[in-house]
């Protein structure tokens, strides 16, 4: 094993032992079929766009395919692709924001957010307004029903950091959505 692959295993795989599909040796095609719909849901929650979600999820899978020899040896390859998807979603939002600012500057016309389905649209709009890590923690928790431990593994941070992101994110969401603390419990 090359030194770079060993570092990758230590950095990505060693921490992911408590998450699903330990020691995956499955073919990429099986992994792709299982994980793509979940990645699309994660990207949709973070970007707010169905079309962008498909693109982001596909790009995350392409990155995974290119490194499959390394990724498949990780304890939890799904955690790696979720992290890639979350980071690509953030990059998409940054690009979109930059493009929107440029368009407004050039055309002096304000751009609207893309329309979402009425179900939970307000919630996900509010999630996307949170700081990046809070939004990622909230999305992973509510879309994947992940525990604090699993979110910490996915985002490569401590459990206490995840707890802080979730508490702060939920408080900000409650304020944004007009929910009192009693209703949150």
pLDDT tens figures, 21-46: 444 578 999 999 999 999 999 999 99
pTM: 0.61
Question: For position 180, what pLDDT does the model report?
Answer: 72
What CATH number corresponds to the domain at position 153? Answer: 1.20.140.160
| Domain encompassing residue 147 | 3-184
- CA distances to 63, 163, 165 from 157, in Å: 22, 10, 11
Question: For position 74, what pLDDT does the model report?
Answer: 92
Under the banding of pLDDT at 50, 70 and 90, the label for residue 108 is low
Q: Which parts of 11-49 fold into alpha helices (H)?
A: 28-47
Rounded mean pLDDT, 72-100: 91
- CA distances to 23, 103, 116, 140, 171 from 35, in Å: 16, 35, 23, 14, 30
C-alpha closest to that of 133 among 177, 81, 89: 89
User: How far is residue 180's CA from residue 117's CA, in Å, rounded to a whole number?
Assistant: 25
The crossing angle, in degrees rounded to 10, of helices 132-144 and 77-107 is 130
Question: For position 10, what pLDDT does the model report?
Answer: 47
Question: For position 99, what pLDDT does the model report?
Answer: 80
Domain total of the chain = 1
Average pLDDT over the chain, rounded to an integer: 81
């Amino acid at each position: 094993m090359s030194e770079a692959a060993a570092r990758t295993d230590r950095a990505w795989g060693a921490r992911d032992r408590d998450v699903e599909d330990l020691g995956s040796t499955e073919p990429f095609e099986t992994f792709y079929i299982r994980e793509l719909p979940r990645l699309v849901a994660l990207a949709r929650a973070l970007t707010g766009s169905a079309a962008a979600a498909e693109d982001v999820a596909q790009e995350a899978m392409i990155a995974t395919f290119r490194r499959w020899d390394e990724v498949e040896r990780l304890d939890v390859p799904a955690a790696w692709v979720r992290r890639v998807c979350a980071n690509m979603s953030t990059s998409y939002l940054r690009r979109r924001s930059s493009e929107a600012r440029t368009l407004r500057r050039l055309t002096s016309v304000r751009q609207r957010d893309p329309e979402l389905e009425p179900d939970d649209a307000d919630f996900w709009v509010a999630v996307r307004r949170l700081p990046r890590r809070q939004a990622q923690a909230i999305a992973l928790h509510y879309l994947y029903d992940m525990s604090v431990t699993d979110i910490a593994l996915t985002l490569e941070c401590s459990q206490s950091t995840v707890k802080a992101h979730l508490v702060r994110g939920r408080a900000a969401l409650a304020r944004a959505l007009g929910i009192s603390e009693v209703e949150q419990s």
